[in-house]
Structure 1
Amino acid sequence: MMVKFVTLFLTSSALTACIHEERQPTYTASAYELQRDTLFPFTVVDSGLNQCFEQSPQPIPCPSRHQPFTGQDAQYTAPASQYIDNGDGTIIDQTTGLMWQKSYTLVTLAQAEAAAKEAMLGGYPDWRLPNAKELFSLVNFSGQYRENPYNSIEAAADAMPFIDTAYFDFQYPASHNLNAIFATRTRLSGGKITHGDVVYTVNFASGQLKAYPVEPSQNRRFYIRLVRGNPDYGKNRLIDNGDGTISDVATGLMWSTLDSMRPLSWQDVLQYAENLSYGGYLDWRVPNIKELQSIVDYNRVATGKPPISPRFVTSLYQRESGDIDYALYWSSTSIKRSAGASTIQFGHSTGDALLAHYHEPATRGLDLPGVQHTSLKIVQAGNGLSILGGKRQQKHFVRAVRNIH
């Protein structure tokens, strides 16, 4: 898809850089009933991806600094999930402060709400449906599926779920290998944007976060896995530093107020962030997909504005149809076996590269802001996208991130 970026004019004060110090807050997990200290109440856990890639599905040795494709997910580490199986059907993640249901059930959304109220797993009465950020924390991007998994009902022999099966129960659904759709409590009421009630979901067969319609009959069924603890998980605490950077003291991440202002290929966004000098800092990088999803504000989806704090500048671009929309953003997280990287749409969705052959909402989800895609790094004839003239690099925007030190 050819896109034209819309130039945004900014005052010089928006680009002023100054060096400043950030004092790291310290939080304790006593409120979450865990016997350990945590650094941040909304700790974004590692994606789990430990391999590097170029533009093909084949892994490569991770490149050295200043080499092409340096700066991707596997070259940066984030706090890893630290699971403990309590032996009573519950799993604690010591890193996030969340306690999870080990098993899962298939229910309607009405039944899901009742199940959460009635649950007494481990003797605790305060179970709930997870929100989109809580549930996405469980996704492990060491998972894999074959490049075109939609031609078969059965999962490929070498498929690996996008969740740690050493701790959590998971089986591929008998109906289709990618129908492992787990509901969250992140929902939108019907209106101009959604034309009906919508629920955001996480798929542990593909690692993707999508939005699906809630049928008026309420008979549509989803898988659910309940959670409890850490009421602050998923809540951002943003501070505008006044120098073109925004600190999230809930996650310990600092973001550039501006994005790249123009669409770039995946290879170019890695180089862009690695070479970025901004706000007095030199250690910027492309966010991994969990970091990028952490700043999505799902409460803003129905407003028609990008689902992110208005403190951030979000670029506009022009579709081939002529419509102006907010941008799609790259992450540094490649998707194994797909020749693609994970992205999040901050406007209306343009469609997922891996779902290009399938256009029914029941299969690919709804075209809403805040959903996650797999965008191919190289678009070429025959890979399911309608294009002309052989192959070309797919281009999106990027917002740089760094750790608060």
Structure 2
Amino acid sequence: MRIFIILFLVCASVSSYAQEGAELKATIVGSGSPKYNPDRSGPSVLVSYKDTKILVDMGNGTQANLDKGKIRMKQLDGLLFTHHHLDHNEEFTPIFIRCLLGGNRFLVAGPAPTSGFVSSIINLYDEDIEYRMRKSGRTLNDVKNNYGVKDLKGGETFTIGEIKVSSAKVNHSIHTVAYRFDAGGKSIVISGDLVYSQSLPALAKDADILIIDSGGAIKKGGRKRANGGSGKKRAGNKERAHVTLEESSLMAKKSNVKALVLTHFVNAEIDEEATVKELRKNYKGEIIFSEDMMTVPSGKNITARQDKKDTKHPYPIVDTGISNYYSDVTTISKPSEGDAFYGQDANYNGHSPSYTDNGDGTVTDNVTGLMWAKDMGNKLTYQEAFQKAKKSKLAGYSDWRVPTIKELYSLILFTGKVKGQHAVDFFIDTKYFNQPLGDTKKGEREIDAQTWSSTEYVGKTMRNDETVFGVNFVDGRIKGYPKYNPRTRDENKMYFRLVRGNPDYGKNRFVDNGDGTVSDLATGLMWQKADDGLARNWEESLDYAENLELANHKDWRLPNAKELQSIVDYNRSPKTEKSPAIDPIFGTTEMTDPEGNTGQYPYFWTSTTHLDGKNPNESAVYIAFGESQGKMRGRLMDVHGAGSQRSDPKSGNKSSYPQFFGPQGDVRYVYNFVRAVRNIDGTNNLNTEPGIKTETPKTEKKQKSSFSKMLQRMDTNRDGKISKHEAKGKLKENFSRRDKNRDNYITEDEVNKRK
């Protein structure tokens, strides 16, 4: 019996050890910098997988910490340098010699002059090495073939043991190489010291862990950067050598890494809360402040965690994913404040889409807290979908439901593209979600792959049809779809994607601030309470929102598609409530429809471009707060429901509209309305890529530039003001309202006073 127990314990121990070593891990051997710090050794990271161990950089204190961790030099399979600054290779010589004496086979690699460095050590210490070798009956020649040396330029890929190693050159004061390690389905990237480098996001794409220079980390007691990463030139006009927090967060965001590990700290106490706040402006994944001998991941799979700021907002709006910039006809370079088309979607950052594939047929949205079914299965009727949700035990959960339209719309990405009835790029992240196309063999169009929600339209569409809202992730729209076939009265079938978790998602908490604004405490957004009653094209709408001054705030913007859809009230419609599809706390201009009928409400522009059609750059998304009308067989009707999301051309001759377009004859106004938005906490989430400067006060700059452009176009006599005779377009239409002092001239002050 004793023998059995002993054998059992030994086997269990071996099994446990094997299981533990089977995960790719990084141990921060040293988290410090060149300055001596009794609590932090010099830079060094040990990457391990099963029996393979690779040591990256070997700063002061590396040997002592390895000994504490019971890591013997003879276990090392690779010694890698990111670069040859003293604080990164200070203990390479004794470690290299101990590896030689240990008899292990290993690789030494790094940027030049790595091979020269190794040769100089051999030449300098050959007598000492020979002396120590003789004690075990060996010579230096016996072990010279046990190691290899590589000088790396960056871009090389090689294998050490069971770990694949990839390299990339990054920007630093000397030649520096970053490394990516892949094994067992996991990946770890070590940046080394650097400033912003385009090569790093490419190397670290979708990695589990990015270990990065902590440059810019904020010191307790002030805004001073603990690592001197202010982005400015140092004394003596020398360029800085370390990243700023903005650069770190942008590279982490572009990489889509799950966890960002900060290391290489100076001898300073770091204000972690302030540092995280800066990083959160761009990066929403997990942030870890490393310590000596910390191992990541620590026995658990790392998943992106939600920003602390967002835990008080149960309805966080996931960003649209747009990173390109557009005019009304084409793509453009990034506009700056005051430029035409500034203020569009990509000028601002939101909560970056972040998902975790749980490996059990489910996907977790790390921003919203919702868990989704990865697959949708076959098309179902509306009732069948609810039955499926009730019976589902997917991944062991029994609380699945059919999502509301707001829950479902949280998944849309406007990086998608469609050309009429033909799919180009899906409007959902297909790395995580399976999205079918319509079955063309059965006579369907490719875009006939709509996903229904649980949200029924309170009104009726088409010819008095019962209607359910759905999202089309193939063509990028919200529409109401008839529950029954109008000809056969059979139940229509569509796709459904089940969801669970966060029961508060999509539920607004509006507060009237009493100053012309409304706050939504659920999303953290503040809204312009009432529109100004004027219709504008897309460029004019961007300009209006950017220059709006309201309730002592100047940081208003045109909302993106997902922000604006968040305030739709799907319990209201013009036919049922005689109101727009929005909470009555808001004021909305009433208008007539194309046939002169009263009781209609406007479409409202968003800052989001909708890539569709022959020229995919010319349309932008709007939300229909009134009926989503179209003309079919000569009859004007509500074809898609109040609260739908479609798109209009961004510009056009106002006298040419409204027009009717597409299979349902969608009404196109082109000149739509604006409801501006800002963040309650005052952070504008400006997308400031490195090298792009922003100036303050931003509103003053934009207004001045906007009026300057007006003068260039209209001020024919160059007197610095615009007469009624000179005014054109929207300014001419609204001249009397803008001419505050009734002197028949518009001045810069009068342009800037609009609210």
TM-score, L = length of structure 2: 0.44
Partner of 2:675: 399
Q: Shift in Å at residue 278 of structure 1?
A: 0.4
Partner of 2:607: 332
Identify the range of structure 1 (65-74 vs 187-196) with the bigger mean alpha-carbon deviation. 187-196
* 3-state SS in 2 of match to 1:221: coil
Q: Summarize the Cα distance change of 1:340–1:253 in structure 2 as closer, same or farther, 3 Å threshold.
A: same
Superposed, which structure 2 residues align to 1:298-377 within 5 Å? Answer: 298-301=570-573, 302-324=576-598, 325-336=600-611, 337-351=616-630, 359=632, 366-377=639-650
Mapped partners of 2:453, 2:314: distance in 1: 20
Structure with greater proportional helix content: 2
Q: Shift in Å at residue 173 of structure 1?
A: 1.7
Q: Counterpart amino acid of 1:172?
A: L
Mapped partners of 1:124, 1:145: distance in 2: 35
* 3-state SS in 2 of match to 1:67: coil
- Aligned pair partner of 1:231 in 497, 503, 508: 503
Partner of 1:55: 328
Tell me the number of residue pairs that the alignment of Structure 1 and Structure 2 aligns. 350
Mapped partners of 1:91, 1:310: distance in 2: 36
Are positions 1:128 and 2:401 aligned together? yes
Mapped partners of 1:49, 1:350: distance in 2: 28
Mapped partners of 1:191, 1:142: distance in 2: 31
Which structure has more relative contact order (CA 8 Å, sep 6+)? It is: 1
Alignment deviations for residues 150-191 of structure 1 (CA, whole Å, 9 cap, x no partner): 3xxxx35xx100000000011222221111110000013676
- Aligned pair partner of 1:284 in 550, 556, 566: 556
Superposed, which structure 2 residues align to 1:189-204 within 5 Å? Answer: 195-204=464-473
Superposed, which structure 2 residues align to 1:41-190 within 5 Å? Answer: 41-56=314-329, 58-105=330-377, 106-146=379-419, 149-150=420-421, 155=422, 159-174=424-439, 175-188=444-457
* 3-state SS in 2 of match to 1:397: coil
Alignment deviations for residues 355-404 of structure 1 (CA, whole Å, 9 cap, x no partner): x9xx59xxx992421111111113479999469xxxx9920001000001
Partner of 1:30: none
Q: Counterpart amino acid of 1:321?
A: E
Q: Is the 8 A contact 1:338 1:376 kept in 2?
A: no
* 3-state SS in 2 of match to 1:274: helix
Q: Is the 8 A contact 1:315 1:326 kept in 2?
A: yes
* 3-state SS in 2 of match to 1:133: helix
Q: Is the 8 A contact 2:375 2:497 kept in 1?
A: yes
* 3-state SS in 1 of match to 2:456: strand
- Aligned pair partner of 2:478 in 201, 204, 209: 209
Mapped partners of 1:63, 1:367: distance in 2: 34
Mapped partners of 1:73, 1:368: distance in 2: 25
RMSD (CA atoms): 2.7
Mapped partners of 1:246, 1:86: distance in 2: 38
Identify the range of structure 1 (40-49 vs 370-379) with the bigger mean alpha-carbon deviation. 370-379
Mapped partners of 1:168, 1:213: distance in 2: 25
Alignment deviations for residues 69-96 of structure 1 (CA, whole Å, 9 cap, x no partner): 1000010011112100000000000100
Q: Counterpart amino acid of 1:344?
A: I
Q: Counterpart amino acid of 1:165?
A: T
Q: Is the 8 A contact 1:109 1:218 kept in 2?
A: no
Q: Summarize the Cα distance change of 1:161–1:239 in structure 2 as closer, same or farther, 3 Å threshold.
A: same
| Structure 1 gap segments, 5+ residues each | 1-33
Mapped partners of 1:307, 1:393: distance in 2: 18
Q: Counterpart amino acid of 1:137?
A: S
Q: Counterpart amino acid of 1:400?
A: A
* 3-state SS in 1 of match to 2:352: coil
* 3-state SS in 1 of match to 2:572: helix
Q: Counterpart amino acid of 1:347?
A: G
Mapped partners of 1:300, 1:365: distance in 2: 14
Partner of 1:241: 513
Larger Rg: 2
* 3-state SS in 2 of match to 1:145: strand
Mapped partners of 2:554, 2:305: distance in 1: 37
Q: Counterpart amino acid of 1:238?
A: F
Mapped partners of 1:383, 1:145: distance in 2: 24
Q: Counterpart amino acid of 2:358?
A: N
* 3-state SS in 2 of match to 1:267: helix
Alignment deviations for residues 102-152 of structure 1 (CA, whole Å, 9 cap, x no partner): 001211111101001011111010000000000000001000012xx23xx
Q: Counterpart amino acid of 2:672?
A: H
Q: Is the 8 A contact 1:188 1:194 kept in 2?
A: no
Q: Is the 8 A contact 2:458 2:570 kept in 1?
A: no
Are positions 1:267 and 2:539 aligned together? yes
Q: Counterpart amino acid of 1:312?
A: F
Alignment deviations for residues 25-82 of structure 1 (CA, whole Å, 9 cap, x no partner): xxxxxxxxx97554310001101111111111x2111211011110000100111121
Q: Summarize the Cα distance change of 1:71–1:114 in structure 2 as closer, same or farther, 3 Å threshold.
A: same
Mapped partners of 2:490, 2:465: distance in 1: 12
Mapped partners of 1:404, 1:242: distance in 2: 15
* 3-state SS in 2 of match to 1:395: coil
* 3-state SS in 2 of match to 1:116: helix
Q: Is the 8 A contact 1:377 1:393 kept in 2?
A: no
Alignment deviations for residues 173-232 of structure 1 (CA, whole Å, 9 cap, x no partner): 222111111000001367699823210000010110000111174521010000000000
Q: Summarize the Cα distance change of 1:338–1:221 in structure 2 as closer, same or farther, 3 Å threshold.
A: farther
Identify the range of structure 1 (231-240 vs 301-310) with the bigger mean alpha-carbon deviation. 301-310
Identify the range of structure 1 (325-334 vs 366-375) with the bigger mean alpha-carbon deviation. 366-375
- Give me the identity figure in percent: 41
Mapped partners of 1:192, 1:340: distance in 2: 24
Q: Summarize the Cα distance change of 1:382–1:346 in structure 2 as closer, same or farther, 3 Å threshold.
A: closer
Partner of 2:133: none
Mapped partners of 1:196, 1:320: distance in 2: 22
Mapped partners of 1:223, 1:238: distance in 2: 32
* 3-state SS in 1 of match to 2:542: helix
| Structure 2 gap segments, 5+ residues each | 1-303, 662-667, 682-755
Partner of 1:250: 522
TM-score, L = length of structure 1: 0.81
Mapped partners of 1:256, 1:190: distance in 2: 27
Q: Counterpart amino acid of 2:601?
A: Y
Q: Summarize the Cα distance change of 1:97–1:192 in structure 2 as closer, same or farther, 3 Å threshold.
A: closer
Q: Is the 8 A contact 1:47 1:140 kept in 2?
A: yes
Mapped partners of 2:327, 2:652: distance in 1: 14
Q: Summarize the Cα distance change of 1:397–1:179 in structure 2 as closer, same or farther, 3 Å threshold.
A: same
